[in-house]
Amino acid sequence: MSDILKKIVAVKHEEVASARRRRSMEAMRADAESRVLTRDFVGALRRRIDAGQAAVIAEVKKASPSKGVLREDFEPADIAQSYAEGDGIISAACLSVLTDRQFFQGSVDFLKQARASCELPVLRKDFLVDAYQVYESRAMGADAVLLIAACLEDAQMEDFEAIALDLGMAVLVEVHDGGELDRALKLRTPLIGINNRNLNTFDVSIETTLGLRPRVPADRLLVTESGIGTQADVVRLREAGVQSFLVGETFMRAPDPGIALAELFA
């Protein structure tokens, strides 16, 4: 685990401990289990792919630890609507919303605002280190959660996945290399996210996805993450059989994120 990831995980454990003092695990679980109307995250991606289109998970992301603030005029509801509309022809299949406060300047309210403004399924993008956060994700309205293999043991991933699936949420498990991919493939979820960012150097290259692509079984849905910034990147990835993309920073810097999405995937 990289130093920055260790720091983030430590902060997450502190946040969970504080959250548990404010609201018990039992209360959070009851709240999560009462919310039964999830949107079909996996189905939304597959429908785009079946139609011959790229399945785009568009990210609502205010800042990053390395780049700072990406978008000063940050209105999650407006951004989500823009993604949902695109150019009227090409648009997002799903949303990803950063909820981490300390490192990405995210917020639970950002997810709620984005989801309320459109009909797209929403992934909670955060660093989950405790089962409490899985229940919390459903309670806040998330339709899917992210599990990062680099900061979780196999038993934790299996436990968190089981909870999420029982709550009707999809699970995107994120990997950075072949070892993590092997671990991820032990899970039930069809969603395998390959992050093109090197956790130690922070270099980004779509070669990570292209190199691991042959090792992903046909019954899994590969989502490539990070470093997709040009139409040439999209063409190379789609020609290699990659049909689902999670993109954030490229769109956040554009005046109209939905139009930028449509132009990238035209």
Dihedral pair phi/psi, residue 146, rounded to 5°: -105, 130
The residues assigned a catalytic role are 59, 61, 125, 174, 195, 225-226
Dihedral pair phi/psi, residue 119, rounded to 5°: -100, 5
What average pLDDT does range 177-183 have in this prediction?
Answer: 97
Instruction: Report the candidate in 229, 165, 168 with the shortest Cα–Cα distance to residue 197.
Output: 229
For residue 2, the model assigns a pLDDT of 80
Q: Taking a C-beta distance cutoff of 8 angstroms, is the pair 97, 106 a contact?
A: yes
For residue 3, the model assigns a pLDDT of 83
- What is the average pLDDT score of the chain? 96
For residue 199, the model assigns a pLDDT of 82
Record the tokens describing residue 151, joined without a space: 């900061």
Band (pLDDT 50/70/90 cuts) for residue 135 is very high
Report the run of H or E that residue 74 belongs to, with start and end. Answer: none
- pLDDT tens digits for range 200-239: 778 999 999 999 999 999 999 999 999 999 999 999 999 9
The DSSP bridge partners found for residue 109 are none
Higher pLDDT, 264 or 3: 264
Q: How far apart are CA 59 and CA 144, in angstroms?
A: 13
- pLDDT tens digits for range 17-72: 999 999 999 999 999 999 989 999 999 999 999 999 999 999 999 998 888 999 99
- Domain 3-264 classification at class level: alpha beta
For residue 4, the model assigns a pLDDT of 84
What average pLDDT does range 135-145 have in this prediction?
Answer: 98
Residues constituting the chain: 266
Q: How far apart are CA 238 and CA 150, in angstroms?
A: 26
What average pLDDT does range 249-256 have in this prediction?
Answer: 94
Record the tokens describing residue 48, joined without a space: 């785009």
pTM: 0.97
For residue 1, the model assigns a pLDDT of 72
Q: Taking a C-beta distance cutoff of 8 angstroms, is the pair 29, 166 a contact?
A: no
What average pLDDT does range 3-16 have in this prediction?
Answer: 94
For residue 62, the model assigns a pLDDT of 96
Single-letter code of the amino acid located at 151:
C
CA distances from 194 to 93, 112, 147, 184, 207 (A): 18, 26, 12, 10, 11
User: Domain coordinates of the chain in residue numbers?
Assistant: 3-264
**In angstroms, what is the C-alpha Rg of the chain?**
17
Q: How far apart are CA 50 and CA 81, in angstroms?
A: 24
